[in-house]
Amino acid sequence: MAVARANHTATLLPDGRVLVAGGQSNSRETLATAELYDPRSGSWTAAERMTQGRAFQTATLLPDGRVLVAGGRGCCSPASAELYDPGTGSWTATGRMIEWRFSHTATLLPDGKVLVVGGYNGSNYFTPGVHASVELYDPKSGSWTATGGLMAGRASHTATLLPDGGVLVAGGFNGNDYLGSAELYDPKSGSWAATGNMEAGRTSHTATLLPDGTVLVAGGVANYHLDVIATAELYDPMSGSWMATGAMIAARASQTAVRLPDGTVLTAGGIDSIGSPLASAELYDPSSGSWSSAGNIVTPRTGATANLLPDGEVFVAGGTSTGLQASALASAELYDPGSET
């Protein structure tokens, strides 16, 4: 990339390019720059700058091909949101979120609206609180409306769209505890209901929808001692319960996870129990419930992004090469499932 960055967003566009935006630089500057990666040429081109710098934001591909970037920790107005139009290559401001938030989640619902959940309250930069509030973005009007609030405020959690259109939110940090609780959002009623608790409280983990409709949750940080865990578990939407599955080979948190076309899940990088970025990668096989080595990424990294490209390769970009944000990476790499490199 032209700019080293971590805690950015990366969005696969309808034409196969990847839009990388924002994040933090080596100097911990919050970035407004954006770049486009073209898998056909393997090259980057500069994109128009966002209207403001932001990190720990969300980016959501809308049904019309535009990208909604919302919130983040930034210099000016992190409650703001903006839209990238691949057709014009330009950014335009859209309606401001109701709340100022970062490390939240954003999920595209079947009706085309975007559900934004939880996150830290950025109004106090040094001691941010945690949101239980939830809001919906309507691309047709460009406006935000409040919807049912979480039963427990949380940040650095996961949100997964289920086959029935509901959203599973699991884990995260509530300002005091590392949560094992999970909740379900019903878009029809706009309300939340408790579902089964995970076997382990965790934050900075991954959650991946599997082909059979279950959700694989793996790794994360488990407690105030910053214990990084290798355990994984499966959520069954039919029963609303969790069960343990095979543990990862390496304990990791803040890793990437991508479901491959064959239904296996590739997880890569992250940090270990002493905060060092990992180079290892591994594959989860749903048919056996076990993990196997997938080789090493070229550069150990955490806080990176990963996208499944149209040709089946996985594109990993940016992040940090140490546990510190002062070591942001400009490098990117490709994983080929056929060669396991």
Mean pLDDT calculated for residue range 86-90 = 98
Contacting residues for 188 by C-beta, under 8 A, at least 6 apart:
none
Give Cα 103 to chain centroid, integer Å: 9
Across 44-58, 66-80, 116-130, 253-267, least confident range: 116-130
Render pLDDT for 141-154 as a digit per residue (tens, 0 to 9). 999 999 999 999 99
Mean pLDDT of the chain: 94
27 pLDDT higher than 80 = no
Would you kindly state where each structural domain of the chain is located, as residue ranges? 248-341
Kindly indicate the confidence band of residue 341, based on its pLDDT and cuts at 50, 70 and 90: low
Kindly indicate the confidence band of residue 253, based on its pLDDT and cuts at 50, 70 and 90: very high
CA distance 303 to 108: 22
Q: Are 167 and 107 in contact (CB under 8 A)?
A: yes
CA distance 202 to 185: 20
CA distance 262 to 214: 16
75 pLDDT higher than 70 = no
Mean pLDDT calculated for residue range 283-300 = 97
CA distance 236 to 243: 8
Across 36-40, 59-63, 307-311, 322-326, least confident range: 322-326
326 pLDDT higher than 70 = no
pLDDT for residue 215: 98
CA distance 214 to 29: 39
pLDDT for residue 340: 60
Render pLDDT for 178-221 as a digit per residue (tens, 0 to 9). 999 999 999 999 999 999 999 999 999 999 999 999 999 999 99
| CA neighbor of 281 nearest in space, from 269, 298, 263 | 269
CA distance 186 to 110: 12
Q: Are 23 and 14 in contact (CB under 8 A)?
A: no
| CA neighbor of 245 nearest in space, from 218, 220, 268 | 218
pLDDT for residue 85: 98
45 pLDDT higher than 80 = yes
pLDDT for residue 123: 60
pLDDT for residue 126: 58
**In sequence order, what are the beta bridge partners of 186?**
191
- HEC string for the chain: CCCCEECCEEEECCCCCEEEECCECCCCCECCCEEEEECCCCEEEEECCCCCCCECCEEEECCCCCEEEECCECCCCCCCEEEEECCCCEEEEECCCCCCEECCEEEECCCCCEEEECCEECCCCCCCEECCCEEEEECCCCEEEEECCCCCCCECCEEEECCCCCEEEECCECCCCECCCEEEEECCCCEEEEECCCCCCCECCEEEECCCCCEEEECCECCCCCCECCCEEEEECCCCEEEEECCCCCCCECCEEEECCCCCEEEECCECCCCCECCEEEEEECCCCEEEEEEECCCCCECCEEEECCCCCEEEECCECCCCHHHEECCEEEECCCCCC
CA distance 84 to 260: 27
pTM listed for this prediction: 0.96
Give Cα 263 to chain centroid, integer Å: 19
Q: Are 116 and 135 in contact (CB under 8 A)?
A: yes
Q: Are 24 and 56 in contact (CB under 8 A)?
A: no
pLDDT for residue 117: 98
Q: Is 189 exposed, middle or buried (0-12, 13-18, 19+ CB in 10 A)?
A: exposed
